[in-house]
Amino acid sequence: MGLLQEVAAHPLAEHFLGLGLGVQLAVVFGGVIVLSVILNVLSQILFKNPNEPPMVFHWFPFIGSTVTYGMDPPRFFKENRDKFGDTFTFILLGKKTTVAVGPAGNDFILNGKLKDVNAEEIYTVLTTPVFGKDVVYDCPNAKLMEQKKFMKIALTTEAFRSYVPIISGEVQSYFKKNADFKPKSGVIDLPKKMAEITIFTASHALQGSAVRSRFDETLAALYHDLDMGFTPINFMLHWAPLPWNRKRDHAQRTVASIYMDIIKDRRANGDAHEEHDMMKHLMNSTYKNGTPVPDHEVAHMMIALLMAGQHSSSSTSSWIMLRLAQNPEIMEELLQEQIRVLGADLPPLQYEDLAKLPLNQAIIKETLRIHAPIHSIMRAVKQPMPVPGTKYVIPPSHVLLAAPGVSASDPQYFPSPDTWDPHRWEVDSPNVPSIVRNGAVEEEEKIDYGYGLVSKGAGSPYLPFGAGRHRCIGEQFANVQLQTIVAETVRAFKFSNVDGSRNLIGTDYASLFSRPLEPAKIRYERRD
Ligand code: HEM
């Protein structure tokens, strides 16, 4: 009898062959899974490479630690840092992902050399269908550096001066017109309101009144559809003909053509009045090789700027207001600061006023320390990278992941790190961060990656705006926008938690940017 016949004649095999096809497939599939789990576990135990960082244990190949990481990235980083130290690797959707935390880890990844690390390879699948072609991660890094330079140059002090009254006006008019704020007091779902206020203020200031006026009708819905392309699942399914991707592509084409029509109109007819908006500046910018920035690139950069700023600023402003509802006495202190500095009649806010309101500024700093909207920053590795001070060499098959939030919540640098304490940024506070106590903030090394001098951030445990060639160019704008929104809001309202408690809602990590779970309701009372 041949071997096959012998196997087929075995009672177990006979039993298996007697099963229905569906059951047979399930048994085979289950067997393959069990076998792959065994091989996966054995390979982790038997084949440890001493020159690579330790691997977070996982049962299933491909899935690896994707679920535990995705549910709560900060907790995942903390637990594994406690176990392995500052550098470790985990499997994220089949990819070996090496995390390097702490100031040295931030520096290693974010200030990595162009020949070693690459951002566009990671992000382009997600961003290009949303922003459009030839900008940001759909072009060589040198071109992105030029584009960032154009954007940064547009954000002058003169521009900021003109933005503060625009932002103030938008916030006041929102509070006046929005039906939910009409009663003397009430309960609102905060993040939705802050998202609207953020997009109205940013679009008006950065993109001009012509664009802003379209946000009440068409643009808001189109940006919502664009947003649906910005989901983690699209790292894998960006190409798929799924309903949300179809909507994303339609929205991208429509928004870009709306911007291009506005650009054409502005070129043909000039502006009705002088505006210091970003669109106008980009329309008149020229690359180093003498090519003027084409209209489609201006349009795509406008989308990129609004999307980049929207998620981070909107999440931050929601957290600020939720923290104020949790700590109503700080909201009162903020109002008293304005009265003391600007006068009891609270005159219209000016750009210069913002620098005179240290607590108002500290609110943003402290909220970004605990609630930075970007918890993970990734880079593809292009060639073997030795990790300074260790025996590890990260091979090009890995992805690097920086998480500046880890050092921002490390008691070594921030006493009582889990306490939201805006007063900690004062030099004589018991919770003062080491970077303020040591004066390191002022002494940071500066570097120019092609878009102007930026602080290198090497050694800083506080980097909510990143570091290196991909550092945020929107930091100052975000600060002006958030400080103005906070100052206007404390003039208008008292906030508190609906149940009068000191609780705080949890964080939603399911989208790309972390933000408050929804609904996140608070009680307001108009000051009138
Ligand atoms: C990059 C944070 C607001 C435009 C970044 C990065 C971070 C960040 C961490 C680095 C990403 C990386 O290294 O991969 C924030 C936070 C904000 C904010 C916390 C608000 C609280 C804004 C605003 C704008 C903006 C308002 C636009 C006006 C950009 C751009 C980049 C960037 C263009 C560069 C991307 C690159 O070079 O790869 N931001 N951002 N951001 N941000 Fe922001």
Res. 81: pLDDT tops 60: yes
What average pLDDT does the segment 491-505 reach?
97
Residue 466 Cα to ligand 1 midpoint, Å, equals 8
Residue 477 Cα to ligand 1 midpoint, Å, equals 10
Residue 399 Cα to ligand 1 midpoint, Å, equals 20
Three-state SS for 330-391 is: HHHHHHHHHHHHHCCCCCCCCHHHHCCCHHHHHHHHHHHHHHCCCCCEEEEECCCEECCCCC
Torsion of CA 436, 439, 442, 446, to 10 degrees: -100
What average pLDDT does the segment 18-44 reach?
88
Indicate which atom in ligand 1 lies nearest the CA of residue 477.
26
308 lines ligand 1 (CB under 6 A): yes
In a domain, 431, yes or no: yes
| pLDDT for the residue numbered 488 | 98
Residue 156: domain span: 138-371+415-447+466-526
User: Where do we find the tokens 């009898």?
Assistant: 1
| pLDDT for the residue numbered 274 | 65
In a domain, 116, yes or no: no
309 lines ligand 1 (CB under 6 A): yes
Binding site as annotated, residues for heme: 472
Q: Is 209 exposed, middle or buried (0-12, 13-18, 19+ CB in 10 A)?
A: middle
Question: pLDDT tens for residues 464-483?
Answer: 999 999 999 999 999 999 99
| pLDDT for the residue numbered 15 | 85
ipTM of the complex: 0.99
319 lines ligand 1 (CB under 6 A): no
457 lines ligand 1 (CB under 6 A): no
What average pLDDT does the segment 396-408 reach?
97
What average pLDDT does the segment 56-70 reach?
95
Strand, helix or coil for residue 521: strand
On average, the pLDDT of the chain sits at 93
In this structure, which residue's CA is closest to atom 13 in ligand 1?
Answer: 470
In a domain, 221, yes or no: yes
Residue 163 Cα to ligand 1 midpoint, Å, equals 19
In a domain, 99, yes or no: no
Res. 272: pLDDT tops 70: no
Q: Taking a C-beta distance cutoff of 8 angstroms, is the pair 462, 413 a contact?
A: yes
Q: Taking a C-beta distance cutoff of 8 angstroms, is the pair 332, 493 a contact?
A: no
Model confidence at 443, pLDDT cuts 50, 70, 90, reads low
Q: How many residues does the chain have?
A: 528
Q: Taking a C-beta distance cutoff of 8 angstroms, is the pair 387, 443 a contact?
A: no
How many C-beta atoms surround the C-beta of residue 7 within 10 A?
11
What average pLDDT does the segment 490-518 reach?
95
In a domain, 90, yes or no: no
Res. 220: pLDDT tops 90: no
Pocket test for ligand 1, best of 148, 312, 318 (most atoms within 8 A of CB): 312
Q: Copy the structure tokens of residue 186.
A: 């009430």
477 lines ligand 1 (CB under 6 A): yes
In a domain, 161, yes or no: yes
Tell me which of 12 and 185 has the higher pLDDT: 185
Residues 6+ apart with CB under 8 A from 362: 422, 423, 424, 425, 426
Exposed e or buried b per residue across 170-184, where buried means at least 16 C-beta atoms within 10 angstroms of its C-beta? bbeebbeeeeebeee
Indicate which atom in ligand 1 lies nearest the CA of residue 481.
26
In this structure, which residue's CA is closest to atom 42 in ligand 1?
Answer: 472
Residue 145 Cα to ligand 1 midpoint, Å, equals 13
Pocket test for ligand 1, best of 472, 473, 479, 480 (most atoms within 8 A of CB): 472
117 lines ligand 1 (CB under 6 A): no
| pLDDT for the residue numbered 271 | 66
What average pLDDT does the segment 405-416 reach?
97
| pLDDT for the residue numbered 1 | 55
Model confidence at 187, pLDDT cuts 50, 70, 90, reads very high
Q: Where are the beta strands (DSSP E) in 111-225?
A: 117-118, 185-189
Determine the distance from the C-alpha atom of residue 117 to the mean position of all C-alpha atoms in its chain, rounded to a whole number. Answer: 20
What average pLDDT does the segment 434-455 reach?
78
What average pLDDT does the segment 75-87 reach?
98
In a domain, 87, yes or no: no
Strand, helix or coil for residue 453: strand
| Count of domains forming the chain | 1
CATH code of the domain covering residue 305: 1.10.630.10
User: Where do we find the tokens 């090497």?
Assistant: 458
Determine the distance from the C-alpha atom of residue 14 to the mean position of all C-alpha atoms in its chain, rounded to a whole number. Answer: 58
User: Where do we find the tokens 């990278």?
Assistant: 385
Residues 6+ apart with CB under 8 A from 246: none
Residue 474 Cα to ligand 1 midpoint, Å, equals 6
How many C-beta atoms surround the C-beta of residue 349 within 10 A?
21
In a domain, 174, yes or no: yes
Residue 308 Cα to ligand 1 midpoint, Å, equals 6
Model confidence at 457, pLDDT cuts 50, 70, 90, reads confident
The Cα–Cα gap between 217 and 50 comes to: 59
Question: pLDDT tens for residues 154-184?
Answer: 899 999 999 999 999 999 999 999 999 999 9
Residue 22 Cα to ligand 1 midpoint, Å, equals 51
What average pLDDT does the segment 7-25 reach?
84
360 lines ligand 1 (CB under 6 A): no
Residue 129's closest CA among 266, 241, 36? 241
Q: Taking a C-beta distance cutoff of 8 angstroms, is the pair 326, 363 a contact?
A: no
Q: Taking a C-beta distance cutoff of 8 angstroms, is the pair 447, 471 a contact?
A: no
Q: Copy the structure tokens of residue 84.
A: 């392995």
Model confidence at 10, pLDDT cuts 50, 70, 90, reads confident
